[in-house]
Chain A
Amino acid sequence: MLIMENVLLALAGLKSNIMRSLLTMLGIIIGIASVIAIMTVGNSITVMVNTQMQEMGANNLTVGVSAKSTSEETTSSGLHFGAGNRRSMDTEDYITDDMIDSFLEEYSDNIKYTLLSSTVGSGTAIDGDLYAYVNVVGYNEDYMEYNDPEILAGRTFIEKDYENAQKVCIVSNYFVNNMFEGDTSAALGSAVEISINGKYYTYYIVGVYEYDDSTWSSDSTEDTTTDLYIPYDTARTQLHTINDGYESFTLITTIDTDSEEFADTVETYFNTMYYSNNDDYEVSVTSMASMIESMTTMIGTIELALAIIAGISLVVGGIGVMNIMLVSITERTKEIGTRKALGATNGSIRLQFITESVVICIMGGLIGIILGVVLGSVAATYMGYSASVSISAIIIAVAFSMAIGIFFGYYPANKAAKLNPIEALRYE
């Protein structure tokens, strides 16, 4: 009950000198506001990254060949030492088609798609004055199905295209706009010549897909590089890698499969079946879930570091509160003497001033939270993320400002409590 009285008293005190109260609170306000703003931006980025990565697929597993780690050679940060002894990766170390075939046979229930792609390169299609920038990629059947581009005209690849490594391609509507002035029917069946690093490749257009420009917020212009899809084996034939096997490929697991768990299964399968005799390389599997996790951890670490720096201003703010409390106690020496004469114990004087300091800090904290949420939301929105306020940050902020109030209020309050009542009463 005494606490409630003290809170009301402290509020009345704050109200009676608004300018001074605000200046005292300013340090706390700025400190809390910056911490909350940073946490809000960080939280927004985390939420955004998570959703984006989840959209890309939580069922996504990347299977790749990587260097075998041995305890002497690898530090916790993943840096390799003594790499001179290691043989560089060769096509012999790659995952072969046979391995994949037998693996898929074994685990067909768990796998929805096996994504294989091979990039021929980025290049330019030129026809007189007309030109378009393209990125030539070879996709296997699963990849096309998974990627599912919206076909505006013509057709997607058929089995024959994949099997015979036909020199066919599917181009974007942007490409048609640039090369055929938007005439889709003229485009279909035409041959395009693409120049990539001084080499020329010719493909026949069988289909036109709609370029999805919503993924990237930057404005799509005529010069945008769009993907030009070709069958996977066509790309491999042109790159002379048809028999090389794979350094990595991607698996899309079925909905029912726990992708994290399945990642271990895949790893074990390949390593026991095919890589037990390989001294230098093994297969490792990364799930999207674990990538999300490490990404979130990374953002969290950066966020924490920034928040700690901002937190320093909270300490400065706390010192400001302590300073003003000491001034206030000197000004109110006579009041303290009177209270003691009226029967206030040292404890109740101490409580009164600690409460006052806590009230200042919590008021500052609340203003800081509002300011921080507004600032953080504006910043997040400006940076292109949808604002997401961190509730835990707010709770921590309130608790922290209270702690600052107690910590920096204790010394002045104790000083007040220990005043000699006679001297305090005589003080002018």
Chain B
Amino acid sequence: MAAGDIMLDLRDIHKSFFIGTPNEFEVLHGVNFSVREGEFVSIVGQSGSGKSTLMNIIGALDRPTSGEYTLDGVDIEKAKDHELSILRNKKIGFVFQTYNLIARTNAIKNVELPMMYAGIGRAERNERAKMLLEQVGMTNRMMHNPDELSGGQKQRVAIARAMANDPAIILADEPTGALDSATGRLIMDIFHKLHEEQGKTIVLITHSNELSLETERIITLRDGDIRGESKGQWETIKEDLAC
């Protein structure tokens, strides 16, 4: 796939809950957008905008009620449960607000986990996990369990884990939401580095307009509809940061 091809394509995505009951309600009312390979896109919305529901669909954790969703050429809405597991494993790298590292499992084992589920051999796994942790500057804390790491360190391990199977997209849900601004800056810098140096496709989901400005394109979600797209200020910020 050449750079610039469509990586993520959502067509008329509807999502309803409690279908067939008197409580039935629709959260997403026909969402359309696509993300190109190598893009850094943010989806901005306040709570109740359908942001989480949209993220679950993008992350292949849930299927839309109707509409078409293609991820890296695969039709998600038609996939079976175990096929969704494989898709999540190989094509999506999750970064959560609450880090979600596996407790009592050290950093390197956490990073190895997606590779273990992908069936990659122990030696290869270990080597790649070390390399990924080095990229996020966690080499000297590889053997520490999550409860021995600070929030920023945990999130760095989580980013390394998201990169484990070289996914098609990195899906980051409020990655700096639980961090102070300095640490949040550090985490954002890592995303920029992955985007700039490795050409990773990144989808950032946030409620913060400030954070979304750091991306290339901003998709604004309100009440289950896309209310506009605007260009981010990444190009100018990039120069500032470079100084």
Give the B-binding residues of A (Cβ under 8 A): 1-2, 5, 9, 12-13, 16, 334-335, 337-348, 421-422, 425
Instruction: Identify the closest chain B residue to A426 (Cβ).
Output: B52
Q: Which A residues touch B161, using CB under 8 A?
A: 342
Q: Which B residues touch A5, using CB under 8 A?
A: 116
Q: Which A residues touch B82, using CB under 8 A?
A: 345-347
Least CB distance from B54 to A in Å reads: 12
Asked if B59 CB lies within 8 Å of chain A CBs, one says yes
* Beta-carbon contact of A338 and B90 below 8 Å: no
* Beta-carbon contact of B117 and A338 below 8 Å: no
Q: Which A residues touch B90, using CB under 8 A?
A: 343
Given contacts A339-B117, A343-B114, 14 further A-B contacts (CB under 8 A): A1-B122, A9-B105, A334-B100, A339-B102, A340-B61, A340-B88, A341-B59, A342-B89, A342-B161, A343-B85, A343-B90, A345-B85, A345-B86, A425-B100
Asked if B118 CB lies within 8 Å of chain A CBs, one says yes
* Beta-carbon contact of B116 and A2 below 8 Å: yes
Q: Which of B86, B103, B118, B122 contacts A335 (CB 8 A)?
A: B103
B-side interface size class: 20 to 34
Instruction: Identify the closest chain B residue to A15 (Cβ).
Output: B104
* Beta-carbon contact of A343 and B118 below 8 Å: yes
Q: Which B residues touch A9, using CB under 8 A?
A: 105
Main secondary structure of the interface of A (DSSP, over half): helix
* Cα distance, A238 to B122, chains bound together (Å): 91
* Cα distance, A90 to B100, chains bound together (Å): 93
Given A9-B105, A422-B62, A341-B81 contact (CB < 8 Å)? no
* Beta-carbon contact of B103 and A339 below 8 Å: no
Report B82-98 CB contacts with A as 1/0, cut-off 8 Å. Answer: 10011011100010100
Asked if B46 CB lies within 8 Å of chain A CBs, one says no
* Cα distance, A334 to B118, chains bound together (Å): 21
Instruction: Identify the closest chain B residue to A331 (Cβ).
Output: B103
Q: Which B residues touch A339, using CB under 8 A?
A: 102, 113, 117
Given A1-B122, A421-B61, A342-B104 contact (CB < 8 Å)? no
8 shortest A-B CB distances, which residue pairs?
A343-B89, A338-B100, A345-B85, A343-B117, A342-B114, A343-B88, A16-B104, A341-B94
Least CB distance from A356 to B in Å reads: 13
Least CB distance from B85 to A in Å reads: 4
Asked if B66 CB lies within 8 Å of chain A CBs, one says no
Least CB distance from A106 to B in Å reads: 78
Instruction: Identify the closest chain B residue to A341 (Cβ).
Output: B94
Q: Can you name 6 A-B residue pairings with CB atoms under 8 Å?
A: A5-B116, A9-B105, A12-B105, A337-B100, A340-B61, A425-B96
Asked if B150 CB lies within 8 Å of chain A CBs, one says no
Q: Which B residues touch A422, using CB under 8 A?
A: 56, 61-62
* Cα distance, A5 to B94, chains bound together (Å): 22
* Cα distance, A13 to B109, chains bound together (Å): 14
* Beta-carbon contact of A342 and B105 below 8 Å: no
* Cα distance, A422 to B82, chains bound together (Å): 15
Q: Which A residues touch B103, using CB under 8 A?
A: 335
Q: Which B residues touch A421, using CB under 8 A?
A: 61
* Cα distance, A50 to B108, chains bound together (Å): 60
* 40-94 of chain B: CB within 8 A of chain A: 56, 59, 61-62, 81-82, 85-86, 88-90, 94
* Beta-carbon contact of A341 and B61 below 8 Å: yes
Given A335-B102, A342-B88, A346-B81, A425-B116 contact (CB < 8 Å)? no
Q: Which A residues touch B62, using CB under 8 A?
A: 422
Least CB distance from B224 to A in Å reads: 17
Instruction: Identify the closest chain A residue to B112 (Cβ).
Output: A5
Instruction: Identify the closest chain A residue to B100 (Cβ).
Output: A338
Report B104-128 CB contacts with A as 1/0, cut-off 8 Å. Answer: 1100000001101110011000000
Q: Which A residues touch B61, using CB under 8 A?
A: 340-341, 421-422, 425
Q: Which B residues touch A348, using CB under 8 A?
A: 117
* Cα distance, A316 to B101, chains bound together (Å): 35
Q: Which of A2, A334, A338, A344 contacts B85 (CB 8 A)?
A: A344
Instruction: Identify the closest chain A residue to B85 (Cβ).
Output: A345
* Beta-carbon contact of B85 and A340 below 8 Å: yes
Q: Which B residues touch A337, using CB under 8 A?
A: 100
* Beta-carbon contact of A342 and B56 below 8 Å: no
